[in-house]
Amino acid sequence: MLPGAVGAIECLLEVPADFYGARVALICHPHPLYQGTMDNKVVYTLARAMQELGIATLRFNFRGVGKSAGEYAEGLGEIDDAVLLANWLQAQFPGAALCLAGFSFGGTVAAMTACRTNADNLVTVAPAVGMIAADAQPEPSARWLLIHGADDELVAVDVVKRWAEHLPRPPEFIVMLGATHFFHGQLVKLRRLVVEKLGSSESD
């Protein structure tokens, strides 16, 4: 349990055996009002991908989810808490590069959090654009990877693509063929893609 703006936040810190202090990641889960938790399978997949690369990960439950205090705060309070946790994570591992990641609602939270932190990498999976009032024009300086399913039934890929193309710093946009919003049957492919992209970003 870590301190948040309105009370304690339930978190899970996982440090891989081969962690050598180079990178840490904060991972944000889907919408709190639609059963989103830090145990969501896409969030778990993102964590596994990063740990495969030797990155320590911090997952957490948004306000009002699990044991976290408070209640849903329209995305704005969730961004505040994510910023606090990102800063905490970097304080625990001085000198480590920060990666922010998120799925669906958590993807937009991660994108906005990246604008208020010194993140080096940003990974958003099927970001639910338009669900947060502040998410119209995020302008993070982080290297940004956006992955979206071609068959997303909840957040149309064409809508997200148009949104991304008009951002001040457009992300690298990858469309996964055959993938739905929750990446049913595509989680292994998603994990391998994240490993490939984040691994290459470290060597650049």
State which fold the 2-13+20-203 domain adopts.
Rossmann fold (3.40.50)
The per-residue pLDDT for range 140-170, each reduced to its tens digit, is 999 999 999 999 999 999 999 999 998 889 9
Alpha carbon distances (Å) from 172 to 1, 165, 179 = 34, 10, 18
pTM: predicted TM-score of the whole model, two decimal places = 0.96
What pLDDT score does 130 carry?
Answer: 74
Low-confidence ranges of the chain (pLDDT < 50): 135
What pLDDT score does 96 carry?
Answer: 97
What pLDDT score does 138 carry?
Answer: 80
Where are the domains positioned within the chain?
2-13+20-203
The per-residue pLDDT for range 187-199, each reduced to its tens digit, is 999 999 999 999 9
Percent of the chain's residues with pLDDT above 90: 88
